[in-house]
Structure 1
Amino acid sequence: MEGTELPSLEQAREEATEDARALMSDAILLGQDISSRRLEICNEAGDALLI
């Protein structure tokens, strides 16, 4: 699992959206199926805040 600390949930959501777009773009170019992957935004304790 990877992570980046950000100061707000809104900033985390924006970064996750950008990351998801990049992952989808790369997958399309490489002919990969990433439909089973997901991004989660978690707090420091590991609790999912957004999926």
Structure 2
Amino acid sequence: VPTYVIDGEAYFGRQHLPRVRWHLQGQVGALPDISYDTILEKRLVAS
């Protein structure tokens, strides 16, 4: 499981990448929610 530690907070898993990106970009805008995008969901949306 990928683990990211930023400002003393530990995030486990890819679903936290939007929040990790938000931290790295200077916390601009609203705090992102956890994301559980999957390949199947993306295929359904594209259909």
* TM-score between both structures, scaled by the size of structure 1: 0.29
More strand by share: 2
Q: Which structure has the larger Rg over C-alpha atoms? A: 2
